[in-house]
Amino acid sequence: MRELRKDPVLGRWVIISTDRGRRPQDFHADYDHFAGFDPQHDPFREGQEHLTPPEIYAVRAKGSEPNGPGWQVRVIPNKYPALGIEGDLNPRGYGLYDRMNGVGAHEVIIESPDPYMLLSDMPLKHLIEVFSTFRLRVEDLSRDSRFAYVLVFKNHGRDAGASLRHSHSQIIATPIVPKRVLEEMYGAQEHWKNKRRSIFVDIVDQELMMQERIVYQNEEMLAICPYASSSPFEIHILPKRQRSDFRKASAEELSALAETVQVCLRKWRGALGPMQYNFLIHTAPNDTELSGVRQYFPMLDAYYCWHLEMFPRIAQTAGFEWGTGYYINPTPPEDAADFLRGIKVEIS
Ligand SMILES: [Zn+2]
């Protein structure tokens, strides 16, 4: 099979090429996450709170003191932030080159007090706390008028960009709306201009109708291997209800999202073995002067929908991808979804 497929949101083409004969077992990973790990020196474990900057927020047992034990989920500033929280943007130009101060927020969400607890093994109740914390922090950071966008993401494993083994995710608030999100917004706006429909609602409807790329679904969420997947076993989780903003996700939606992520992570592990991965949550930009949303996307709520994208780190990005922005994916998403559907997992 050799096929060019156009991503209906981004307008980007991907090459689905199975000539390389990559079956799920060809990707099988035996990544040992805890090789050489010494929990004694783990700054994220319970009891070592003094090794991190003071906490911003924590889900805590009643009566426990901040920056001490007794927490379930803990949010701290990144010790080595990509962007700094203090100061103004002060944008300026040097001839044709633009620059501004590196103002933003960079937080770490420590997902469990237990150094050996992986996100995929966490009890569902705990995972719901993690996702509720994501929403709470996005909500809080989006109130800062200097920030145009807040991104939640997770790197699991060294190749996926994680420097510490203890399970954690990150949040970065930026003064600029990321290019990828802008591309999604423009794509969705174009679809809406032509059809007066949300492209995300259309995708959910069509995937439910075709039943070819569904990995898992519940009342509120749909997990699919997207039609124009850029990498093997990529999964997108979409809410079944059109909602532009992750901040407005209901408690039911957050629980359903946590459940879906748990199922997908466990199916991945069943299919591919222990491997490294990334996920991220895309949502509408902050409704501030700076983001330009009100000016350029006044109808965004009607056609943009928040979602979660997850990528196993099993394929290498090569020169062709860097040079063209196209991706070559050796596993048709229909095959990946079929394989993942066949992996039975427990929700717990
Ligand atoms: Zn996205």
Cα(334) to ligand 1 centroid in Å equals 20
Cα(336) to ligand 1 centroid in Å equals 19
Cα(127) to ligand 1 centroid in Å equals 22
Please report which confidence band the pLDDT of residue 137 belongs to, taking 50, 70 and 90 as the band edges: very high
Instruction: Give percent of the chain with pLDDT exceeding 70.
Output: 99
Nearest to 312 by CA among 331, 293, 284, 294: 331
Return the pLDDT at 157. 94
The H or E element spanning position 173 is strand 168-174
Phi, psi of 338 (to 5 degrees): -60, -45
Burial of 156 (0-12, 13-18, 19+ CB in 10 A): buried
Return the pLDDT at 22. 64
Please say whether the beta carbons of 16 and 1 come within 8 A: yes
Predicted TM-score of the model (pTM): 0.96
Q: Tell me the pLDDT tens digit for each residue of 247-296.
A: 999 999 999 999 999 999 999 999 999 999 999 999 999 988 888 898 99
Cα(39) to ligand 1 centroid in Å equals 35
Return the pLDDT at 5. 96
Q: Say which residue, 22 or 245, is predicted with more confidence.
A: 245
Cα(281) to ligand 1 centroid in Å equals 7
Cα(57) to ligand 1 centroid in Å equals 27
Instruction: Give percent of the chain with pLDDT exceeding 90.
Output: 84
Q: Give mean pLDDT, residues 237-251.
A: 97
Cα(34) to ligand 1 centroid in Å equals 30
Cα(62) to ligand 1 centroid in Å equals 37
Does 24 have pLDDT greater than 80? no
Residue that has been written with the tokens 């920030």 in this structure: 147
Q: Give mean pLDDT, residues 92-109.
A: 94
Q: Give mean pLDDT, residues 27-46.
A: 92
Q: Give mean pLDDT, residues 21-44.
A: 86
Residue that has been written with the tokens 């701290």 in this structure: 76
Q: Say which residue, 27 or 169, is predicted with more confidence.
A: 169
Q: Give mean pLDDT, residues 196-220.
A: 98
The rounded mean pLDDT for the chain is 94
Return the pLDDT at 149. 96
How far is CA 27 from each of CA 233, 311, 314, 336, rounded to the nearest angstrom? 10, 13, 6, 12
Does 21 have pLDDT greater than 60? no
Cα(6) to ligand 1 centroid in Å equals 15
Cα(204) to ligand 1 centroid in Å equals 14
**Which range is least confidently modeled, 138-142, 305-309, 328-332?**
328-332
Nearest to 28 by CA among 272, 276, 275: 272
Cα(84) to ligand 1 centroid in Å equals 25
Please say whether the beta carbons of 313 and 229 come within 8 A: no
